[in-house]
């Protein structure tokens, strides 16, 4: 009796390649001797292996669809044959385990269904694979002090493996991730995109994590929510007073009078002119000005005398 491969795989003749793979996967797992208690499961696995091998091969399938099992196994009649592979006779190798292993991969056909040494139970239907998530993928996100002061939006293009329809093959596709930077973010802030890593048949995609790294700034250093500015002044200015102009990150120019005597540990604190607070951007840290006092390299005797008189 002629073999109906479509009936064996419980599909119709309009089935796609994906439908054929799904059908073989479901039935092969159902009737494999390691998971089935039904009598004759080995014979059924042989039938499934042969049917899948024929219908998953475009040339064999085309020959079978046009000439049936007789034409496939006996060769195409001379009046239709064109030589080569189209007219060659087909014979199944008779080893269903070989087909099973080639389909699922690996020497142990059931190894793919073991995760963390915990075997899965087979109930005649396609098993649910216990998946584990890949480790997070961490990348640095370099931001300027202006970005962290004002806030901004960064667009990052990533490339990752995405499983194709059917879940058996993958392709590389790109995706744009959008990061809304909030005013006041600090060095080390972590932005997590859940499960945006490479996709795989038996794993959960990794999270992609961006870690804020602050770029250096020509005028300011950041210390928590405060901004540190360093200015050079002369010894005369340190002793007699002066005023300084300090530009801000939001485009203003602060004129700050210094009426105290500036010594080595002196710091001028300007409240509310630092970085915005992440929890409440309407509040800000302080601006702290450090001074580097430049001493004269030489003094004449007259100048030394005048300084001595002035400091008495």
Predicted confidence at residue 61, as pLDDT, reads 87
- Is residue 5's pLDDT more than 80? yes
Q: Give a yes or no: residue 207 inside a domain.
A: yes
Point out the domain boundary residue: 119, 145, 168.
119
Domain membership of residue 311 (yes or no) is no
Question: What pLDDT is attached to residue 83?
Answer: 46
Residue 97 lies in a domain: yes
Give the least confident one: 4-8, 82-86, 210-214. 82-86
Contacts within 8 Å (CB) and 24+ apart, 127-134: 127/29, 129/202, 131/202, 131/203, 131/204, 132/203, 132/204, 133/195, 133/203, 133/204, 133/205, 133/206, 133/207, 134/197, 134/198, 134/200, 134/203, 134/204, 134/205, 134/206
Q: Is 162 exposed, middle or buried (0-12, 13-18, 19+ CB in 10 A)?
A: middle
CATH number of the domain within which 241 lies: 2.60.260.20
Does any domain span residue 161? yes
**Is position 301 within any domain?**
no
**Which range marks the domain in which residue 34 is found?**
5-119
**For the segment 248-279, what is each residue's pLDDT rounded down to a tens digit?**
999 999 999 999 999 989 999 999 999 999 98
Residue 135 confidence (pLDDT): 85
285 in the same domain as 247: yes
Last residue of a domain, one of 145, 180, 214: 214
Please indicate, yes or no, whether residues 148 and 239 belong to a single structural domain of this protein: no
Query: Residue 124 pLDDT more than 50?
Result: no
pLDDT digits (tens, 9 = 90+) for 26-65: 888 888 777 656 656 788 888 988 989 999 888 888 888 8
In the prediction, which pLDDT does 82 show? 47
- In the chain, the number of structural domains is 3
Percent share of the chain, pLDDT over 90: 37
Residue 115 and residue 12 share a domain: yes
Q: Work out the percent of the chain whose per-residue pLDDT is above 70.
A: 84
pLDDT on residue 99: 83
- The model's confidence at residue 190, banded by pLDDT at 50, 70 and 90, is very high
How far is residue 85's CA from residue 286's CA, in Å, rounded to a whole number? 81
pTM of the entire predicted model: 0.54
Sign of the Cα torsion 28, 34, 40, 42 reads positive
Residues 167-183 have pLDDT tens digits of 667 788 888 999 999 99
């Amino acid at each position: 009796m002629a073999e109906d491969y479509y009936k064996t795989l419980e599909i119709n003749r309009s089935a796609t390649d994906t439908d054929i793979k799904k059908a073989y996967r479901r039935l092969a797992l159902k009737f494999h001797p390691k998971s089935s208690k039904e009598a004759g499961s080995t014979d059924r696995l042989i039938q499934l292996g042969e049917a899948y091998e024929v219908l998953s091969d475009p040339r064999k399938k085309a020959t079978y669809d046009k000439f049936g099992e007789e034409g496939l196994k006996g060769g195409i009649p001379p009046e239709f044959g064109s030589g080569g592979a189209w007219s060659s006779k087909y014979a199944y190798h008779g080893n269903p385990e070989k087909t099973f292993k080639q389909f699922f991969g690996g020497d142990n056909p059931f190894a793919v269904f073991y995760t963390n040494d915990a075997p899965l139970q087979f109930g005649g239907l396609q098993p649910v694979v216990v998946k584990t998530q890949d480790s997070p993928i961490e990348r640095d996100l370099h931001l300027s002090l202006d970005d962290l002061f004002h806030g901004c939006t960064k667009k990052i293009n990533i490339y990752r493996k995405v499983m194709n329809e059917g879940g058996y093959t993958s392709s590389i596709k790109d995706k744009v991730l959008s990061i809304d930077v909030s005013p006041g973010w600090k060095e080390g802030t972590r932005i997590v995109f859940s499960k945006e890593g490479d996709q795989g048949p038996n794993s959960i995609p990794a999270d992609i994590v961006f870690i804020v790294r602050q770029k250096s700034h020509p005028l300011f250093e950041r210390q928590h929510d405060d901004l540190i500015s360093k200015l050079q002044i002369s010894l005369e200015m340190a002793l007699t007073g002066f005023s300084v102009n300090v530009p801000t990150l939001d485009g203003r120019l602060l004129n700050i009078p210094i009426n105290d005597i500036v010594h080595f540990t002196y710091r001028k604190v300007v409240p509310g002119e630092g970085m915005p607070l992440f929890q409440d951007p309407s509040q800000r840290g302080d601006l702290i000005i450090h001074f580097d006092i430049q001493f004269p390299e030489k003094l004449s005797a007259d100048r030394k005398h005048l300084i001595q008189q002035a400091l008495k």
